[in-house]
Amino acid sequence: MSNIVVDKSKVPWWVSNVIVPLVNLTLALLVSGLFVFIAGENPIEAVKLIIYGSFGYIQGFAYTLYYTTNFIFTGLAFAVAFHCRLFNIGGEGQAYIGGLGVFLVAINLSFLPVPIVWLLAIFGAFLFGAAWAYIPAYLQSKRGSHVVITTIMFNFIASSLMIFLLVDVIRDTNQMAPHTVKLPEEIWLPSFEAFSGILGIKIRYSPLNLTFLLAIASLFFVWFLVWKTKWGYEMRAVGHNTQAAIYAGISPHKNIIIAMCISGGLAGLLGVNEILGVSHKIQAGFPAGYGFTGIAVALMGRNHPIGILPAAFLFGILYQGGSEVTFEMPNITRYMFVAVQGLIILFSGALENLFRPQIESFFVRRLNREVNA
Amino acid sequence: MVSPILELTDINKSFGHVQANKNINLKINKGTIHGIIGENGAGKSTLMSIVFGLYQANSGSIKINGKEINLSSPRDSIINGIGMVHQHFMLVENFTVLENIILGFEGETVFGEKLQKAKEDLEKLCKTYNFNIDLDATISDLSVGFRQRVEILKSLYRGAEILILDEPTGVLTPQEVDELFKILRSLKDEGKTIVLITHKLIEIMDLTCEVSVMRQGEMVGHTKTEDTSKEQLAEMMVGRSVLLRVDKKEIKKGETIFKVNNLSVKDDLDVTRVKDVNLEICSGEILGIAGVTGNGQTELLEALSGIRKVESGSIELFGEKISDQNNFLNPRMLKEKGLAHVPEDRQRMGLISDFKAHENLIFGYHDQEPYSKSAILNNKEITEYSNKVMQEYDVRPNSPNLITSNFSGGNQQKIILSRELNENPKVLLVGQPTRGVDIGAIEFIHQRLIDMRDKGAAILLASVELDEILSLSDRIIVMFDGKIVGEKENKNVTDRELGLLMAGVA
pLDDT in tens, A198-238: 777 777 788 999 999 999 999 999 999 999 999 999 999 99
Mutation target among A234, A247, A258 for the B interface, most CBs of B within 10 A: A247
* C-alpha to C-alpha distance for A367 and A281, rounded to whole angstroms: 56
B23 domain-assigned: yes
Could A248 and B341 be called an inter-chain contact, meaning their C-beta atoms sit closer than 8 Å?
A: no
Work out the pLDDT band at A2, boundaries 50, 70, 90.
very low
Mutation target among A2, A15, A225, A233 for the B interface, most CBs of B within 10 A: A233
Could B350 and A247 be called an inter-chain contact, meaning their C-beta atoms sit closer than 8 Å?
A: yes
Could B376 and A241 be called an inter-chain contact, meaning their C-beta atoms sit closer than 8 Å?
A: no
Q: Which 3 state secondary structure label does DSSP give B468?
A: helix
* Residue A73, Ramachandran bin (φ over 0: left; ψ between -120 and 50: alpha; else beta): alpha
* C-alpha to C-alpha distance for A261 and A136, rounded to whole angstroms: 10
Taking alpha carbons only, the member of A316, A234, A301 closest to residue A78 is A301
Chain mean pLDDT for chain B: 88
Residue of A nearest to B72 (CA): A1
B98 domain-assigned: yes
Assess B377–A contact: CB distance below 8 Å, yes or no: yes
A315-325 pLDDT tens trace: 999 999 988 89
Could B349 and A5 be called an inter-chain contact, meaning their C-beta atoms sit closer than 8 Å?
A: no
Confidence (pLDDT) at A223? 97
Work out the pLDDT band at B242, boundaries 50, 70, 90.
low
* C-alpha to C-alpha distance for A59 and B9, rounded to whole angstroms: 72
For residue A249, give the nearest of B16, B354, B364 by CB distance.
B364
Instruction: Report yes or no: B286 and B249 within 8 Å, Cβ to Cβ.
Output: no
Assess B373–A contact: CB distance below 8 Å, yes or no: no
Residue spans per domain, chain A: 63-307
Domain boundary among B420, B438, B456: B438
Could B355 and A240 be called an inter-chain contact, meaning their C-beta atoms sit closer than 8 Å?
A: yes
* C-alpha to C-alpha distance for A209 and A189, rounded to whole angstroms: 7
- Domain of B116 in residue numbering reads as 4-238
Domain boundary among B221, B238, B255: B238
* C-alpha to C-alpha distance for B11 and B27, rounded to whole angstroms: 12
B95 domain-assigned: yes
B342 domain-assigned: no
Does A71 have pLDDT greater than 90? Answer: yes
What's the DSSP call for residue A189?
P
Assess A116–B contact: CB distance below 8 Å, yes or no: no
pTM of this structure: 0.76
Give me the interface pTM, i.e. the ipTM.
0.84
Does B18 have pLDDT greater than 80? Answer: no
Instruction: Report yes or no: B155 and B193 within 8 Å, Cβ to Cβ.
Output: no
Average pLDDT score over residue span A130-154? 96
Average pLDDT score over residue span A279-301? 92
Assess B350–A contact: CB distance below 8 Å, yes or no: yes
Do residues B228 and B370 share a domain? no
Residue of B nearest to A245 (CA): B349
Confidence (pLDDT) at A4? 56
B408-431 pLDDT tens trace: 778 899 999 999 998 899 999 999
Lowest mean pLDDT, pick from A248-257, A262-271, A362-371, B134-143 = A362-371
Instruction: Report yes or no: A201 and A62 within 8 Å, Cβ to Cβ.
Output: no
Confidence (pLDDT) at B250? 84
Assess A350–B contact: CB distance below 8 Å, yes or no: no
Contact list, A366 vs chain B (CB under 8 Å):
none
B282 domain-assigned: no
Work out the pLDDT band at B40, boundaries 50, 70, 90.
low
C-alpha angle B39-B31-B132 in degrees, rounded to nearest 5: 85
Domain boundary among B438, B462, B493: B438
- Number of domain units in chain B: 2
Confidence (pLDDT) at B270? 81
Could B15 and A241 be called an inter-chain contact, meaning their C-beta atoms sit closer than 8 Å?
A: no
Taking alpha carbons only, the member of B237, B17, B211 closest to residue A369 is B17
- The enclosing domain of B139 has a CATH number of 3.40.50.300
